[in-house]
Every structure is written in C-alpha cells, then in structure tokens.
Amino acid sequence: MKLMKTVLASAVAAVGILAGGAQAADMTIKFSHVVAENTPKGKMARKFEELAEAAVPGLDVQVFPNSQLYDDSRVLEAMLLGDVQIAAPSLSKFQRFTNKLQVFDLPFLFDDMAAVDRFQQSEAGQSLLNSMEDKGLIGLGYLHNGMKQFSANEPILTPEDAAGKKFRIQTSDILAAQFEAVDAIPVKKPFSEVFTLLQTKAIDGAENPWSNLYSKKFFEVQDYVTESNHGVLDYLVVTSASFWNGLEPDVRDKLNKAMNEAIAYGNEQSADLAARDRQAIIDDEGTKVVQMSAEQRQAWVEAEKPVWSEFEDDIGRDLIDAALKANQ
C-alpha cells in the first residue's frame, strides 16, 4: 500500500515536471503518535494524511501510530532534531517547554468538554498555541480526546479509596500532585507501558479518557472504572518552528488548511467515540463502571484544592480565571 502510494506520488511528480507545472519539491512529513487508529487522534492523523497529500503534489505524509516511531517522552526532542514533523502529544506532556499548558491538568477545573472547547477557542486559549515558539515548537491547534476516568481493581469513589494505591500518570507535576493530595502514589510512565504495568499489577490503577481505556484494552485489566470526569486529556497538535517557518508560504497555507480540517474532523468524532467506547466498557462483563455521589465528588474537590494553590504562580491566575470562565 505504502509502496503503491510512493509510486503514485513519484508518477504525479513526474507528470508535473513533464508538463512544466510548478511542483512542490518531494517532501516527507512524519506524523508520530502513541494511540490506536480508531481514536480521535488516529482518525485525525489519517485525515491530515489524505487532505495534505491531495493538496500538495509530491508530499508523502507518513503516519506512525501506537508509539511505533517514538513515545511521547522522546517525540518532541526528535521533532526539534528534524526527525519528526508533526505530533500531537497530550497537553500534559509539555511541562518542559511551558508552564502555561499545565492549566489543563488542574483537577476538577472544567465541567465538561464543551467548557474545555470554549476555553481552547477563547483568546487566552489561542494565545497558548504560540507559547513555545521561542523553544522551537508551534502549536497548530487543539484536538479533543475527552474527560479522564479513574480505573483500578477496587472502586475509587472517595479520596480515601485512592490512598496508598499506585497510579500511572503522564509526565506532569500537577498530575503527580493530584494523586499525592489524596496520599496515593503517582508513577510517571510512558503510555506504551500502561497495559503491562496494569496487567502485572506493578501499579494499581490509572486515569484515562474512555477512548484510551477501550482502544488500549486497559479496561480488560481493571475491575472498576469510576466515571469521575475529574480532568481532561486533550492534545496539542505541534510542529517544529524551523520546519514550519521554512516551508514555501503557499505550501504552508495548504498544510495549515488541511490541518484545520483534519482537527475539526477529529474533534467532531471525539464525543461519539467517547460515548461508543464508554458503552462498550459498560457492556463488558468483567469491568464495572461506578459513579461518585455528589458528596464523594465534593470530597475530591476539597482534597484537590491545595494543588491549585501550589501551581497558581506557575500557571498564572489570569489563565486559571479564563479557564474557569469557560464553565459559565
């Protein structure tokens, strides 16, 4: 299939040259990500491949899903070295580059995905796309996955239920503080290791959106999922400033348009995918989906308040207020 695509791309380029048409130089864009194909990110990446290749003759977009090329701990360095051109790490994975995006990690900040979307599209949210340009990274847009749910082999309903248990987290100090606030033990590990860590009981639990819980089969090695919606797992679609700014302006415009359309497509699918995967996990006999009562949820909110104070100066009060405003 890939060979066929390469042959076709070469043929199209050759026809253009013979016809004397202006061809973009043959170019390869590697898009590396860590999730499965049947997820908002997997679908968005394939849509970008389709749209970008149709818009730019001679372009070969190569999508590498499932951490085949890089996991998220290395992909941004690889991008800065020019080995990867596009990635879409979770917003929790940019702490080395900016404190601002950490706003998305504050527990119990957003009421729902509509609020997340409103904040991302607001002036404050859009300004974050360029917050890492001095470090060599440009944000091309936000992509949704969804709200996170706790999972473990026992129901996690109160902060006390989490105490003493080991939870896998992404590389975010706020997520570490979120679990430490309830005397749980956060374990920073790459996404590609989560299934084995859960299966071997090296850790007790994790936090994931429905799409990741289902597509990576984490639910099969967890007896309980708590519908906690306690935080968000969304993505920043990112490229390197040297790659992006070095493109011919008309090629950059076409890629930008293809990316905006691909992100819109991924975002349109995200709610349906979350609902589908949630239902599939509810229907699975081996996993029980449980709900917190209003009192139990309030106990979590109270327990997590110190995390907000701890990180307020790093993130900036204005940004936290702008995010909170999106709940109204």
Query: What is the contact surface with ligand SIN in residues (CB under 6 A)?
Result: 34-35, 72, 90, 145, 170, 191, 212, 233
The structure tokens listed for 265 are 């497509």
The helix (run of H) or strand (run of E) holding residue 7 is helix 2-18
CB of 179 to ligand SIN, least distance (A): 14
Residue placing its CB nearer to ligand SIN in the complex, 33 or 165: 33
**What's the CA gap between 209 and 42, in Å, rounded?**
15
DSSP 188: E
DSSP string over 162-185: HTT-EEEE-S-HHHHHHHHTTT-E
CB of 225 to ligand SIN, least distance (A): 15
Residue placing its CB nearer to ligand SIN in the complex, 56 or 91: 91
CB of 233 to ligand SIN, least distance (A): 6
Q: Which residue is nearest to ligand SIN (CB)?
A: 191
The structure tokens listed for 128 are 């974050």
Residue placing its CB nearer to ligand SIN in the complex, 120 or 170: 170
CB of 40 to ligand SIN, least distance (A): 9
The helix (run of H) or strand (run of E) holding residue 31 is strand 27-32
Residue placing its CB nearer to ligand SIN in the complex, 59 or 206: 206
Whether the Cβ atoms of residue 105 and residue 207 lie closer than 8 Å to each other: no
CB of 123 to ligand SIN, least distance (A): 26
CB of 273 to ligand SIN, least distance (A): 12
CB of 92 to ligand SIN, least distance (A): 7
Residue placing its CB nearer to ligand SIN in the complex, 13 or 233: 233
Residue placing its CB nearer to ligand SIN in the complex, 171 or 240: 171
**What's the CA gap between 263 and 267, in Å, rounded?**
6
Strand pairing class (86-87; 232-240) = antiparallel
- Strand ranges (DSSP E) for 44-124? 59-64, 86-87
Residue placing its CB nearer to ligand SIN in the complex, 93 or 254: 93
Q: Going by C-beta distance under 8 Å and a sequence separation of 6 or more, which residues neighbour residue 211? A: 35, 39, 40, 145, 146, 270, 273, 274, 277
Could you report how far apart the first and last alpha carbons of the chain are, in Å? 48
Strand pairing class (86-87; 205-209) = unpaired
